Amino acid sequence: MTQYNLIATTTFGMEGVVKEELKKLGYRNLDIANGKIEFKGNEKDICRTNLHLRSAERVLIKVGEFKAVDFDQLYERTKELPWDWFLNEDSEFPVSGKSVKSQLHHVPTCQSITKKAIVDNLKERYKKSWFEESGPRYKIEVALYKDIATLTIDTSGQGLHKRGYRQLSSPAPLQETIAAGMIYLSKWSPDRILIDPFAGSGTIPIEAALYAKNIPPGLNREYDFQKWPLINDQLWQEVKSEAVAEIKDDLQPRLIAAYDRDEEMVSMGRYHAEKAGVDDLIHFQKQDFKDFSSNRKYGYIITNPPYGMRMSKESEVKELYKLMGEKLLPFTTWSFYILSAYENFEKLFSKEASKRRKLYNGGIKVDFYQYYGPWPPRND
């Protein structure tokens, strides 16, 4: 197999989480930067990382990287790259682009120059003057940052947050990769109950259940690389079979509780959990937060309550956050992990977080407020 320079892309703030995920999968010599982690891997690793990474956005192949301060330089260096290793005569290869702090700042022109350079490369290789682009798709990106051009091919296709289970739409949904990152950062384990009192369509509880059962998040979706001659179906099926063999089916039923005051959201959550294959682990129930209670001594709250950006009036949000403090803080042995874009959350909640982490959900800056509770005794 061939070794490639691979990139796992992330939303801002999730770089460290994805780096740790890659370490757990056995990858070393990881190079972390804003929004990405670079590592080495072969065709099997392309399959494995797409299948297993819970908090990454995409897996890219880095075809080349070079300095480009004018369009001639961009064209010539792009044309020199080994495009024929990836692209066949019928390959579809749309080109997107972005530019930050670079002299080549007009993105449409950068895209056009890059496309022309790749076409001219393939003309020489295949002795053709026209390419129909009717075959497998290879999404190419030219990304310029401080005059350094990075050329990549997207192996994933749709973003990795598209797990395949969320088939019904809901207002202000939490991105699945963010929910998975919240679970990872909380260090929750299935020996403690987890409750989401604002579960909506069930994203946090479902991601927690996938994690608990060790179900790969990408098991029930398709990827662009599956249609590439570079990666045969036998290899992909081998990777999937290895992953399925590691799934845990002996967990305690209903170890996760998902509450929401909207019956339609509760029904949607049940449907999504069934599609994800984790409905046995999650108890869905219609419940207004004012009725929240529990007799458990130790537990976790991981939630994304309304924060006024899309769904609720600010006055309602303030009252809700005050109520959250009143209802949750008496649970002194519990841990709370709360995602909100509201700047004064801690003041309204009446307690400063043990730790705050800045993230982005759907382009909105949010803070992940982490309140650490004590670990239960070993014999509890």
Q: Both 67 and 181 in a single domain?
A: no
Last-in-domain residue among 101, 124, 154: 154
The reply to whether 95 falls in a domain is yes
The reply to whether 168 falls in a domain is no
Given a cut of 60, is residue 9 above it in pLDDT? Answer: yes
- Average pLDDT of the residues of the chain: 94
Residue 310: is it exposed, middle or buried by C-beta count within 10 angstroms (0-12/13-18/19+)?
exposed
Q: What average pLDDT does range 181-205 have in this prediction? A: 95
Q: Both 347 and 271 in a single domain?
A: yes
The reply to whether 345 falls in a domain is yes
Question: Which CATH number covers residue 95?
Answer: 3.30.2130.30
pTM of the entire structure? 0.92
Q: What is the pLDDT of residue 306?
A: 85
Q: Both 195 and 287 in a single domain?
A: yes
Higher-confidence residue of 376 and 110: namely: 110
CA nearest 268: which of 210, 205, 201?
201
Q: Both 295 and 351 in a single domain?
A: yes
Residue 345: is it exposed, middle or buried by C-beta count within 10 angstroms (0-12/13-18/19+)?
buried
Domain span including residue 58: 4-154
Q: What is the pLDDT of residue 219?
A: 94
Q: Both 141 and 183 in a single domain?
A: no
Q: What is the pLDDT of residue 221?
A: 94
Higher-confidence residue of 284 and 310: namely: 284
The reply to whether 107 falls in a domain is yes
Q: Both 54 and 109 in a single domain?
A: yes
Given a cut of 60, is residue 139 above it in pLDDT? Answer: yes
Q: Given pLDDT bands bounded at 50, 70 and 90, which one contains residue 171?
A: low
Q: Given pLDDT bands bounded at 50, 70 and 90, which one contains residue 175?
A: very high
Q: What whole-number distance in Å separates Cα of residue 158 and Cα of residue 210? A: 20
Q: What is the pLDDT of residue 366?
A: 93
Q: Both 256 and 306 in a single domain?
A: yes
Q: Both 99 and 203 in a single domain?
A: no
Given a cut of 80, is residue 255 above it in pLDDT? Answer: yes
Q: Where are the alpha helices (DSSP H) in 81-198?
A: 83-86, 107-126, 176-186
Q: What is the pLDDT of residue 170?
A: 67
Q: Given pLDDT bands bounded at 50, 70 and 90, which one contains residue 1?
A: confident
Q: What average pLDDT does range 65-88 have in this prediction? A: 97
Question: Which CATH number covers residue 353?
Answer: 3.40.50.150
Q: What average pLDDT does range 215-221 have in this prediction? A: 95
Q: Given pLDDT bands bounded at 50, 70 and 90, which one contains residue 16?
A: very high
Given a cut of 80, is residue 308 above it in pLDDT? Answer: no
Q: Both 235 and 282 in a single domain?
A: yes
The reply to whether 165 falls in a domain is no
Q: What average pLDDT does range 43-48 have in this prediction? A: 98
**Beta bridge mates, 367:** 340, 358
Site of tokens 């845990």? 248
Site of tokens 């998902």? 258
Q: Given pLDDT bands bounded at 50, 70 and 90, which one contains residue 310?
A: very low
Q: Both 127 and 193 in a single domain?
A: no
Q: What average pLDDT does range 143-163 have in this prediction? A: 97
Q: What whole-number distance in Å separates Cα of residue 253 and Cα of residue 184? A: 21
Number of domains forming the structure of the chain: 2
Query: Residue 195 CA to chain centroid, in angstroms?
Result: 21
